[in-house]
A and B are shown apart, each in its own frame.
Chain A
Amino acid sequence: MTSSDPVTAVQRSGTRNAHDAAPHPGPSLRSGRPSPRDGVPATQGVAGSLSGERVPSRDSGEAGEGQSVLVVPGASRSSILLGSLGFGVVFLLAWQLVPPALGVPSYIIPTVTDLAREFARMAARENLAVHVFSTVTVAIAGFIIGSLLGAAMGYVLGMSVLIEKVLSPYILGLQIAPKVAFAPLFIMWLGYNSWPKLVVTILVVFFPILVNVLQSMKTVDRDLINLARAYSMSRMQIFWKIEVPASMPALMAGLRIGATLAVIGVTVGELVGGNTGLGYLITFGEGQANTAMVFDAIVLLTAIGIVLYGAVAVMEARVLHYIPRALR
């Protein structure tokens, strides 16, 4: 059998038919999911993913195309990395040197060394570790609870067309509503403690994951479902053996978005009320006209977001190992 030559097999598979059987892992998701990297708010997912699903353009791509778009011509990987690092160094140097040179006082734009000094002071005098711990805990707890609820709700709605149709205008409405604006309400209801922050975080994480999972449930390849039906599988077997695995790429995309939103949720909760967390340190620094403290808190919040996002990315790579890299 010439067709069982493993070398040609592998080369051809990654580019052409690899995603025939599952519309999600491949091209449809790339277009269907709101990419966090583009800075598109996750909440635009409803319209975006509805219209963007099943764009066949990548299907027609012949061998090699998938990879070539990702590679900058004439640039090796290490030189790209060097370029990024170099840009960072230049940026920090400019930050350090340009504002003082232009006569901008450090209470408007503190220099990088000011930030480092303030960081050390906060660690020593302001219980920084406690605040960081509080923010991290609420962000992770809110992310996990919001994800679980969002995914569960997405699967329930995906299983029941009727409920989904009845509720869809309200889901859309809630999705568009600025969730962080609920924070003062939650404080009035739940008091000046960790609960309002947690609830806001859960709420902002919930929707993108719900929408992504629901969308993927609605677009599972009908032929796969028919195949399972032809094998006399029950509704629950179809759910666990086809729909849940087929929704994994969409769920992972939702988790990526959720990870970044979780930090926003907890920050807003802390900004609005309470006396712990990095968001609180921002308002505290603002009250004291301590610009460096505000900057430091923002940097730390960003770092927390990056770590959370990275953790999801690692998980995604493990869960979606069956999707060839070029298509992911």
Chain B
Amino acid sequence: MLKTASVLDLIGVTKRFIAPDGVSPLVAIERVSFEVRSGEFVAVVGPSGCGKSTILNLVAGLDRPNEGRILLNQVPVTGPNPTVGFMLQKDLLLPWRKIVHNVEFGLEARSISRAERRERALRELQRCRLQEFAESYPYQLSGGMRQRAALARTLAIEPAIVLLDEPFSALDAQTKLILQKSFAQTIASSAITTLLITHDLMEAVIMSDRILVMSERPGRIVEEIPVDLPDRDNPMARISAARSREYVDHLLGSLHLQDKAA
């Protein structure tokens, strides 16, 4: 199999914070290295507080690593980068803007015409199957629809990589499944490179090509699991596959969750 170019590389990345007591340094992540190749969907799982969101902030250029390097398309990340799109658990839609104007938001820092901006926003809304809600305000949409609008906004800037930080964790179980499928379809059909951060092991299994398991703080990558399952564009098919359960069981073991519950 031909190895495609890597879009994102983390090489020995360490990030320390000042602890709340103001003296001792708090190591959020330590010597984290991995790569995400073009078109790949990689999930990062780990216990809470293991520095998953730190990775996201570093890749988005909102924060700098203390050690190590982060490369996007082989170029070091030195600050906020227009080729990274990120999405959080919160949809971060601006409540005073119509959906279409929310989708345009990321493009407003760029020098493109108003007409082109709108055209691109409408195209993304179509891709996320929200075109009939372009003129609605966020409060008129359900939680799931709002997350799809947030995805449309994220994709509108045509990012080289999309970072998803637990985008489904605020949703009820059924909406979550529907949205996972919706995201998976959109991402697969456009071959979007994606890094998903999640605490939901099943979600990692049914959505990704590869899973990185992180340890407790200081966060390190302790295992890398390629997900050898069909139907990456259809999580609903994967969720009922028996082998998905095996992957989840394996992850439970890797994270020593059984020991902790005892």
Contact flag A231-B88 (CB < 8 Å), given A3-B144, A322-B96: no
Q: Are A21 and B108 in touch, CB under 8 angstroms? A: no
Contact of B92 among A25, A227, A232 (CB under 8 A): A227
Which residues in window 112-155 of B have CB below 8 A to A?
Answer: 129-130, 132-133, 137-146
Chain A residues near B61 (CB-CB < 8 A): 230
Which residues in window 1-31 of A have CB below 8 A to B?
Answer: 1-4, 8-10, 12-14, 16-22, 25
Contact of A237 among B57, B93, B109, B178 (CB under 8 A): B109
Chain B residues near A19 (CB-CB < 8 A): 95, 139
Q: Are B139 and A4 in touch, CB under 8 angstroms? A: no
* Tally of A interface residues using CB under 8 Å: 37
Chain A residues near B137 (CB-CB < 8 A): 322
Chain A residues near B80 (CB-CB < 8 A): 229-232
Q: Are A21 and B95 in touch, CB under 8 angstroms? A: yes
CB distance from B87 to the nearest CB of A (A): 9
Main secondary structure of the interface of A (DSSP, over half): helix
Q: Are B92 and A17 in touch, CB under 8 angstroms? A: no
Contact flag A16-B95 (CB < 8 Å), given A3-B178, A229-B62: no
Contact flag A9-B140 (CB < 8 Å), given A232-B80, A232-B82: yes
Which residues in window 179-234 of B have CB below 8 A to A?
Answer: 179, 182
Chain B residues near A2 (CB-CB < 8 A): 178
Question: Residue B47 at the A interface, CB < 8 A?
Answer: no
Which residues in window 47-100 of B have CB below 8 A to A?
Answer: 57, 60-62, 80-82, 84, 86, 88, 90-97
Chain A residues near B92 (CB-CB < 8 A): 21, 221, 223-224, 227
Q: Are A22 and B95 in touch, CB under 8 angstroms? A: yes
- Chain B's interface size range is 35 or more
Q: Are A10 and B170 in touch, CB under 8 angstroms? A: no
Tell me the bound Cα distance from A16 to B143 in angstroms: 8
Tell me the bound Cα distance from A160 to B175 in angstroms: 42
CB distance from A76 to the nearest CB of B (A): 27
* B 98-110 to A, binary, CB cutoff 8 A, 1 in contact else 0: 0000000110110
Contact flag A8-B82 (CB < 8 Å), given A1-B178, A237-B108, A248-B96: no
Closest residue of B by beta carbon distance from A10? B140
Q: Are B142 and A8 in touch, CB under 8 angstroms? A: yes
Closest residue of B by beta carbon distance from A11? B142
Between A and B, 30 residue pairs with Cβ closer than 8 Å are A1-B182, A3-B145, A3-B175, A4-B130, A4-B145, A13-B138, A13-B140, A13-B142, A13-B143, A13-B146, A19-B139, A20-B91, A21-B95, A22-B95, A223-B90, A226-B62, A229-B80, A230-B60, A230-B61, A230-B62, A230-B86, A231-B82, A231-B106, A232-B82, A232-B109, A233-B108, A241-B94, A241-B108, A242-B94, A322-B138
